[in-house]
Structure 1
Amino acid sequence: MAERSEKGKVAVVAMLLAGGVAASCGSSEEGSGSTDPGGDPSTADSGGGGNVIDPGGGGFNSRRDGGGGGDSGGFNACAADSQRGKPVPLSMAMMLDSSGSMWLRTQSGEFKWEVLKKALGSFINDPKSSGIGIGLQYFPRFQNNMPNRCTESAQCGSAGPCVLKACNDARGDHCTADTDCAQGATCSITLGQCHEEGEFKCRTDADCKTSYGDYGTCDPMIASYCAGGQDSCNIPDYSQPEIAFAELPGAAGAVTDSLATHFPNGYTPTSAALKGLENMAQAQMQAHPEHKVVGVFVTDGLPTKCDQSMPNIASIAAGALEAGIKTYVIGVFAQSEEPQAKPNLDLIANAGGTGTAFIVNTDQNASLELLKALSAIRGNALPCEFALPLPSTGVPDYGKVNVQFTGGGGDQRLFPYVANEAACDAAGGWHYDVDPAGGTPAKVQLCPTSCDSIKADAAGTIDILQGCKDAVVK
């Protein structure tokens, strides 16, 4: 890309039926094992051979007792104490491309930057985004905290001047006074901006016909950039959100105000920006371990600054995934650019655990397509994770927890327990956030297949039952 002059929440109701339920699970058919809710999960119910549930069978009432016990109402008889819970909150760390090429126009005639602002505005004000936490930063950042836009040289400090005027000779260098121009020339030309890319400064329409392309007419300038500005490759510059994490819809006003003050300018330091995004996300996860945190990286260009190696950049997303943070990628490109852009952005998305990048085609309705991409990410990222509360009496017995899904039509399914995320397969299931043998679980997490199934049924409910031995696959 040309840079500067050189370039439902699935309506799942979570019911946590938690329990100090020793009395209700102490029937003879449970065998002679321990019924102490604080007991050893590995020894509980061992005398009866345990409960083996056929996931394709009759739900709770298809209990199979290896010790010869009969049907006694299954898990419904075990869940005596209930507590209502809710899905784990979602936080989205967002890194937005505000490089100079965001001044390029889309098929609708809007600048890419305007398309991004419109789509993001719709997303943050969508009732379906309510409750999501959002933190926001932009790239490129500039050295020495230089602003990314200016309307007067005083705003630039040592990185000035602000590029607003030019000498009236053939060279047309930018200037602030006649002394900046060659002998005989004056600093008398008020610069404009090329219609097709607002960062290109121009004196006449002819200045907008460059080797990079035809950028239309020379229009009055909205704002400019500091002449001495240099894009930063310093990762800490990108690691703190400009808009601190806050929950929607309350955070919407701050996001809208921030977008209004930014001005596309500079190159594309992808590596520094992506690493900053992952640092933002990890800091949020450490501050709020009860949240699920994901990164969203929006760009309209391939790397043109800092480390430009795509394998190295993809490894940043891979490192974040190891820390429990998935990275979603949105590319905003003309259709002619997609063959080159998509494979590179797919490298990042795949390494970040999200498969492939979303590509917004600027030759179509880019604003709508970008909103669709953000909405798809929201739907995919909304966690299939549910808090595991303490029972009203006693402590959790991690060997006596089961997860049931009741569809909108009343059908019930029992998800099998698996040891960890790596054990998930096409059959689905659930696992704890940490192994009970070595830690204290705080969440119940569904495997991807089971997660997809509940998201497909907006009227469904999840019940987490404590008190009966973990169901296993038949």
Structure 2
Amino acid sequence: MKTAKKLVSIASCLCLGALTLVAGCDGNSPPFNTDAGTNAPDGLSIPRDGRVVTDVWEWVGDGTVCGSISRVPELPPFDMLLALDTSYSMDFKEKWLSVKAALKVFAKDDRFSSMGVGLQYFPLRAQCNASDYEAPDVPIAPLPMINTQLTASLDNQRMSGGTPMVPMLTGVLKYAKAWAKAHPERSVAVILATDGIPDNTCLVGDKQVLPNTLDNLVTVAKTAVADKPRVPVFVIGVGSELTTLDEIAAAGGSKKAFLVDTAKNISTAFLQALNEIRSILACEYEIPAPPSTELLLDYTKVRVRFTIEDKNEQFFSRVANAAACTPNGWYLDDDKNPTRIILCEEACKKSHSEGGKIEVVFGCNPKPD
């Protein structure tokens, strides 16, 4: 049986004097934000004396300060709030029955133990009231503790109404943002599962919510990842012709929606999409504080290196945001006040390769007087 051998290093390497960051502080570094795929010398996060520094800051060298934090990667503590479409159209082609079956399997899968899960449905009876969606039918709580509650909730659902997605997402995100703020040590995401896009319900907005249009849904999703705390919105489309959902997914922080073809095994594909979303969040790296209060991280001096078994070295390149992602790209969660480095989807998949290792290296500058 294969086991994960991936090691993630988040390293900060500083050189006093000129205060430029170099590989291992030895002067042989490639330029920052180099084009992905170029080769470079080894030693990005290993101090000069060869010691491996784990979970501590350490200062070594002659007039040079190098600090590194290394950790064996685990899937991050993760909570998801599932917003499930229960409109009339979900009754066709056994879409709802398949989604329900997949979620029951998901809840009993040992791989997802300790993950927090909550459920909300749309439309609710007062379908245009965003505040009604702020209280999930199943509040976020860890698996498997809520298996019974989750199963009962799924079994009690009946299909009705249309797709008031703007008021729904507005309310759901208010709950998710409050949860994320109260649990800063955990990643939180909203998973929107639907077979459609906003319809002509709830077209009259008010002070609480925008009218129910696709453009406004994109705006709500975009705000979710732009404002702190960041809550990405992933989209699972249950149908064969739902490429419009890619626009919502891109606004919510991923490049495209996960589309589940109703002509195939919906339950298996839905479960696979949930697992892929979880893996994507394992490619978000928290930015460490600098080793001194006299220093500031310099986000123009960030280098992300990928190796497989310490060979086949590549440097991933910075892109503007998720929408601009490339196969070997990464971006900051917030350009002005970043807290995480996020690998683009293809780079994320690559980083999960057997024997793969990611190292993120930061440069610093002294605080201005």
Fold similarity call, TM over 0.5: yes
Q: Secondary structure at the match of 1:379?
A: helix
2:285 aligned to 385, 397, 408, which one?
Answer: 385
**Equivalent residue letter for 1:53:** S
- Alignment match, 1:113: 96
Paired residues of 1:9 and 1:128 also in contact (CA < 8 A): no
Q: How many residues align?
A: 328
Matches within 5 A, 1:231-270: 232-270=127-165
Write the distance in 1 (CA, Å) between the matches of 2:180 and 2:163: 27
Distance in 2 between residues matched to 1:379 and 1:235, nearest whole Å: 30
Measured in 2, the distance between the counterparts of 1:415 and 1:380 equals 19
Distance 2:268 2:321 in 1: 35
Q: Displacement of 1:235 after TM fit?
A: 0.3
Cα separation, 1, equivalents of 2:180 and 2:42: 36
Gaps of 5+ in 2: 31-37, 53-59, 204-211, 365-369
What SS is found at the alignment partner of 2:256? coil
CA contact (8 A) 1:15 1:463 kept: yes
1:139 and 1:419, CA in 2 relative to 1: closer, same or farther beyond 3 A? closer
Offset of 1:123 from its aligned partner? 2.4
The one of 167, 177, 190 equivalent to 1:295 is 190
- Give structure 1 stretches of 5+ with no counterpart: 1-7, 20-24, 34-41, 64-70, 144-231
Partner of 2:353: 457
Q: Does the 8 Å contact 1:97/1:138 carry over to 2?
A: yes
Structure 2 equivalent of residue 318 of structure 1: 222
CA contact (8 A) 1:429 1:450 kept: no
| Aligned residue number for residue 238 of structure 2 | 332
Letter in 2 for 1:355: K
Does 2:99 align with 1:123?
no
Contact 1:134/1:246 (CA < 8 Å) preserved in 2? yes
The Cα of 1:11 is off from its aligned counterpart by 6.7
* Higher relative strand content: 2
Q: Does 1:53 align with 2:29?
A: yes
Contact 1:90 1:382 in 2 (8 A): no
TM-score by length of 2: 0.69
The verdict on how the C-alpha distance between 1:408 and 1:282 changes in structure 2, with shifts beyond 3 A counting, is: same
Amino acid paired to 2:86:
S
* Partner residue, 1:138: 121
Map 1:281-292; keep pairs closer than 5 Å.
281-292=176-187
Task: Give the whole-Å Cα distance in 1 for the aligned partners of 2:68 and 2:272.
Answer: 42
* d(CA) in 2 for partners of 1:375, 1:241: 22
Listed one character per residue, the Cα deviations across residues 232-255 of structure 1 (whole Å, up to 9, x for unaligned) are 210011122222222334444432
Any conservation in 2 of the 1:136–1:241 contact (CA below 8 Å)? yes
Letter in 2 for 1:114: L
Match of 1:95 among 49, 59, 83: 83
Distance 1:94 1:331 in 2: 13
The 8 Å contact of residues 94 and 135 in structure 1, kept in 2 or not, is answered as yes
After TM superposition, the structure 1 = structure 2 runs for residues 37-436 of structure 1, keeping only pairs within 5 Å, are 43=19, 51=27, 53-54=29-30, 56-60=39-43, 84=71, 88-104=76-92, 106=93, 111-143=94-126, 232-302=127-197, 303-307=199-203, 308-323=212-227, 324-333=230-239, 335=240, 338=241, 342-386=242-286, 388=288, 399=297, 407-411=307-311, 413=313, 428=329
Deviation (angstroms), 1:411 = 2.6
| Aligned-partner Cα distance in 1 for 2:108–2:41 | 43
Q: Pick the aligned partner of 2:344 from 441, 444, 448.
A: 448
Deviation at 1:258, TM superposition (A): 1.9
Structure 1 residues 344 and 45: alpha-carbon distance in aligned structure 2, compared to 1, 3 A threshold: closer
Question: Which string of whole-angstrom CA distances, capped at 9 and with x for unpartnered residues, describes residues 327-352 of structure 1?
Answer: 2222223x5xx3xxx24433322332
Letter in 1 for 2:100: K
Report the residue type matching 2:119 in the other structure. L
Given that 2:255 and 2:325 are in contact with CA atoms closer than 8 Å, whether structure 1 keeps it comes out as no
Amino acid at match of 2:43: F
Do the aligned partners of 2:7 and 2:71 also contact (CA within 8 Å) in 1? no
Q: CA deviation at 1:274?
A: 2.3
Instruction: Give SS of 2:43's match.
Output: helix
Whether the aligned pair in 1 keeps the contact of 2:81 and 2:117 (CA below 8 Å) is: yes
Larger radius of gyration: 1
2:34 matched residue in structure 1: none
- Cα deviation for residue 389 of structure 1 reads 7.0
Instruction: Go from structure 1 to structure 2 and tell me whether the alpha carbon gap of 1:247 and 1:388 turns closer, same or farther (over 3 Å shift).
Output: farther
Deviations for 1:271-327, whole angstroms, at most 9, x for unmatched residues? 222222332332222223333332211123442521343223322222223223332
- Residues 85 and 281 (structure 1), Cα distance of their counterparts in 2 relative to 1, 3 Å cut: farther
CA contact (8 A) 2:304 2:316 kept: no
Q: Is 1:17–1:84's contact at 8 Å kept on the other side of the alignment?
A: no
TM-score (norm 1): 0.55
Give the CA RMSD over aligned residues.
4.5
Preserved contact between residue 421 and residue 431 of structure 1 (Cα < 8 Å)? yes
TM-superposed CA distance for 1:408, in Å, is 5.0
- Measure the CA separation in 1 of the matches of 2:78 and 2:44: 35
